[in-house]
Every structure is written in C-alpha cells, then in structure tokens.
C-alpha cells in the first residue's frame, strides 16, 4: 500500500481542524474534522478554488437550514425537504463539487433542538468553516506539492518504457499479448501525465520573471507530452500491423528499423538535454549525415510499391505500411519541434533547470 502526501495532509488537516475547534471551545468539533476532509485538494490553486466554493456552500446550507428550521421546526421530513432544496440551489449555481459539505451543514444545523437554535446554528456554521480554513492552511504549508519534478519523472520513465517496447516491436521480438497489455498500461499512465500537467499548470507564481519562465516550461512540457503520445501511437501501429511489417522486403524493413532506432535514441537524448546532461547545441540529428530525408523516404516507398506491383507481390501491403510511415514521420516532426523548444529554453533560462533533476536523472 502506497501512502502519498495527500493522505498525510488529510490526517494532519483533520487533527489541526479538531485542535482549532477545541481551542475555540466550539461544541461538536467533529464537524470541523468532517469539513477538513472535503477541503483537502491535490494542489494549492485547487485548494483556493475549493475554499471559495465551500464557503459559499456553507453559507447556502446554513441559510436554508435556518429558514426551514424556523418555518417547520426540526421535523425529519423538513430536513429532507431542506436537503432537496439545497441540492437544487447548489446545482443551479454550479457548485456540485461542494454539494456534500452544504448538505452536512444543513443536517448539522437542523438537528439542533431547543430555543437557542439560531445561536447553536451559527456555532455549527463557524465550526464547519474552521474545518475548511484549517484544511486550506495545511494544504498551503504542509508538504506543498512539487508537480514539475513529478511531471518530468512520469514523462521520463513512461517514455523509457515506450522506447524499449518500440525497439522490440520493430524487430518482431515482442510477444503479441504482452505488447497489448503494455499498451493498455501506457494509456492509463499517459492519462496520469495529463493530470499532473494540469496540476503543474495551475500552480501560481507571484514574481513576474518566474511567470515568464513558467510559461516557457509549460510549452516545453506540453510538447514533451505530445511527442510521447506520438511515439505511443507509433507503437500501436507497429503492434496492429505486425504481420504486414513482417512481410516487408528485408532491405525496406531494415531501413525502417534503422530510422526508428535513430529517432528513439534522439528522443532519449532530448530528455537528457532538458535535464542539463547534454549541451544545448548538441544534436545527434545534425550529425547524422547519412540520414535519409523525409522526401527521399517517400520516394523509396513509392518505388517499392511500384516494384511490388510489377512483380505481382500480393503479400506487400502498401496501405498498412503507409499508416506506419505516417506515424514515423509525424513522430519525427514532433521530435524536431521538441528539440527546438528545449534549445530555446536552455539558451534563455538554462540556469533555471530544477536542481532536483540533477540529483535524480544521472
């Protein structure tokens, strides 16, 4: 079982909320702990958004509870109707994420009996608000998330696995079922990468120079993710058309294999270049003198189709091969663009590379 930072922050937020509630001598401090559970979020920006929404939800819930409590006393049917009304209003104002807390506020206030209903209702409202604020403070100062390092780590290791499987696939060395299972896992891992990118994008910088650097980083990371997706699409094509790939003429198959080996090595070097392990001006791409250009590759492909047609080769599938070639060329173009962005970033902000990259990626 893996316990992440959010798990620990949830526990700390509950303890902190209960502590503040007891310090203020609020009755039923458990409601502060319940509110803290709902308020913990994976990023500081989302925590800020949540606290604004939950304060609104708390006010709406408390208002409805007081109105129904005064009009219909504390009958269980009145509580049910109040909950329905609260849900309708919350949905109307598009506060679905804070709906649970609003309902907790309604029930917490309406279950109070006695003449001091309004006083105790106000106290319950404040108690729940304390829990929300306590969670925000914990999220702000306790184990603040470092999404840039997490994001690059996910991209780096995911791409490393895709590269290894692609090298196996183009050599017809991977087992069909194993490759299919790996592709399924890669898809879910890519979704987690997209989520981490959104978290990193939402992180706020309060200094103008940092905002500019962050904007450039976002462009680089977005292209990293796009390029990884292109490599994953290529692996899908190699897997889906492995039979057609096996039927290619040996010389043409070797040319595709060599091209992919070069592109995959190029991708590995780009990720190392971003961490500062390679010089910005270094590019295996520019040193590869004998590399077949894209237009030359297409000419060879057309000649191969013509030759296969003249020879009456029915096993050669130009249609499926075109799918594979299109993915290779698309992947290649995105690698070139990623190289340009990384060189540009390091030229202007090379000193801004996260020092944790130096420690982790050797």
Rounded CA separation 265/157 (Å): 15
pLDDT at 331: 93
| Interacting residues of 20 by C-beta distance below 8 A, sequence separation 6+ | 32, 130, 134
Q: How long is the chain?
A: 362
Q: What is the pLDDT along the chain (362 residues), one digit of tens a residue?
A: 456 677 888 888 889 889 998 898 888 888 888 888 888 877 777 777 788 888 888 889 889 988 888 888 777 888 889 999 999 999 988 888 888 888 888 888 888 776 677 888 888 888 888 988 888 888 777 766 778 888 999 999 999 999 999 999 988 888 889 999 999 999 999 999 999 999 888 776 655 566 778 888 999 999 999 999 999 999 998 898 887 777 777 777 788 888 888 899 999 999 988 887 776 666 555 545 455 565 666 666 666 666 555 555 555 556 567 777 888 889 989 999 999 999 888 877 666 655 555 555 55
pLDDT of residue 1: 45
- Phi, psi torsion values for 204, nearest 5 degrees: -100, 140
The closest of 60, 97, 54, 98 to 82, measured between CA atoms, is 60
Q: Quickly tell me which residue has 């706020």 as its tokens.
A: 204
List % helix, strand, coil for the chain (3-state, nearest 5): 80, 0, 20
pLDDT of residue 99: 87
Give the span between the Cα atoms of 289 and 92, in whole angstroms.
64
pTM over 0.85: no
Q: What is the DSSP string of 192-254?
A: HHHHHHHHHHH----SHHHHHHHHHHHHHHHHHHHHHHHHHHHHHHHHHTHHHHHTS-HHHHH
């Amino acid at each position: 079982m893996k316990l992440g930072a959010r798990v620990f922050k949830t526990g700390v937020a509950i303890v902190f909320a209960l502590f503040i509630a007891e310090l203020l001598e609020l009755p039923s401090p458990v409601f502060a702990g319940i509110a803290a559970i709902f308020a913990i979020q994976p990023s500081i920006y989302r925590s800020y958004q949540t606290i604004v929404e939950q304060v609104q939800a708390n006010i709406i819930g408390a208002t409805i509870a007081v109105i129904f409590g005064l009009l219909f006393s504390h009958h269980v049917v009145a509580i049910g109707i109040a909950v329905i009304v609260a849900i309708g209003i919350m949905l109307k104002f598009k506060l679905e994420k804070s709906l649970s807390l609003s309902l907790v506020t309604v029930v917490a206030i309406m279950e109070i009996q006695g003449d001091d209903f309004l006083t105790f209702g106000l106290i319950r409202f404040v108690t729940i608000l304390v829990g929300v604020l306590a969670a925000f403070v914990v999220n702000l100062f306790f184990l603040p998330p470092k999404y840039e390092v997490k994001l690059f780590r996910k991209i780096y290791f995911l791409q490393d696995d895709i590269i290894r499987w692609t090298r196996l696939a183009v050599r017809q060395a991977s087992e069909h079922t194993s490759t299919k299972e790996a592709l399924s896992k890669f898809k879910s891992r890519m979704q987690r990468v997209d989520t981490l990118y959104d978290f990193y994008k939402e992180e706020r910088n309060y200094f103008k120079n940092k905002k500019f650097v962050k904007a450039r980083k976002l462009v680089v990371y977005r292209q990293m993710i796009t390029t990884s997706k292109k490599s994953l699409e290529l692996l899908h094509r190699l897997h889906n058309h492995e039979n057609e790939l096996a039927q290619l003429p040996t010389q043409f198959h070797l040319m595709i294999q060599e091209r992919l080996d070069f592109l995959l090595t190029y991708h590995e070097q780009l990720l190392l270049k971003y961490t500062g392990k390679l010089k910005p001006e270094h590019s295996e791409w520019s040193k590869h003198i004998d590399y077949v250009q894209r237009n030359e590759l297409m000419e060879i492909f057309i000649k191969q189709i013509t030759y296969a047609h003249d020879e009456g080769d029915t096993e050669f599938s130009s249609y499926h091969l075109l799918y594979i070639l299109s993915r290779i060329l698309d992947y290649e173009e995105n690698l070139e663009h990623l190289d340009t962005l990384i060189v540009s970033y390091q030229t202007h902000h090379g000193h801004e590379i996260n020092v944790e990259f130096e420690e982790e990626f050797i």
